[in-house]
Structure 1
């Protein structure tokens, strides 16, 4: 069967946020006004409690639920679990480890990465049960192709995700957030050579790199990746996620009520990383 391939830049699919405990992540993210999904269980030892947004993107807080299964996955060459483990070894259990791009053909993306010399290892196919907020169950299936900067063993990684079977379930309750967040506007990163980092990201996301204040920008179909220059950084460091919220004042009032430390910088609410929140979160008022 011949696939009809998308043209133009990939869309942001989701981001991966390692955490030592889903309970800690759930408590923290709920206090920020997000609605967390029920626990999802991967067949290779990791677990998540995703934050789904109305634009179809999501955050994936990721913990290790079964160490023995994760050990077996690493030994079998599972790139996802191996990169998660190496990231935690280098940066600790809380962090921002991966940006994931939507794919319509993971095999083709894998070939592109191999030819460009940036493949992080073999492709991965897997399925896992999915349960919506109302208890309706289905099976979600994914096909992944991995990329990383050359000689990067323990820093951020990137992958293309083809949703081979997307559950036909109602996520509207999970996409409603007390803070008013509706979509991801941008991912912010830094690198010693912002131009080279942006060129790498542009290749992975099938986009292009442009100049931005203080660094470079890679436009996606539904968001931007911003890379600022940071002396001394050999590889890309993922720093922040920018969200669109409907009412910035209301979002700030929620943070105040919940005792969440934050800064108001111009028209941005900046929430620094904390246990269970491995990246800075930035709220901007946008429709």
Structure 2
């Protein structure tokens, strides 16, 4: 019984981090209907940003995450303004090749600048790497990252529900034609959404680097996780992203306990089953995966 609770808690903590990793991807898709295949590379850059912030200035990545998020917000604005605004109304394959090409370029740029070495940072004092409560031991880094993730996810939900810009973003995601008639400028909302999506991805990367190694191809793993979380929870659903992340984290925790070799294989199997049986996910709107901008 104790092992079951240990695996469950570990899976929940991991799932919260996975949800944060997928949030930016789902936000951009929900509004602009663009699947960002460079998402993993932006996450990788966020991890490097957290690493170099710690090594260069001594600022803990958890404390420096808002700075990374602000820098990546600007990067997201540039991403949209310099590339995506030219493809936003183009066929889906144009967007796929544009973001996939950017991802390959960013990965090779990281390899050129920093090499292929694995990098991480130690932020917890010696002897405080784990926390024990009622016989359950968890990683202190995972616990902090989970709390960070839940706080950010809650803030995003409140922003979307309670602010004018948030309601404008939801209006564009639901019906772009009706939003135009209400005086909402889709171009400005797309620009803001890409800024927010990439900014959140940068924060996720900074929060991850104390728990995972940063290296140029690390985004390949996390982008698969993000896709599974998004499809599982529901396209364009922020609460669904949370549930999807938690479900995937718990599944991975139990699968890794019984058969570590099959841990990553479950991602592929789950993604294939979801796309075949329920492509709109647990909480997504049916047909959202087929929507396009008009």
Q: Which has the larger helix fraction?
A: 2
Q: TM-score, normalised by structure 1?
A: 0.28
Q: TM-score, normalised by structure 2?
A: 0.28
Q: Which has the larger strand fraction?
A: 1
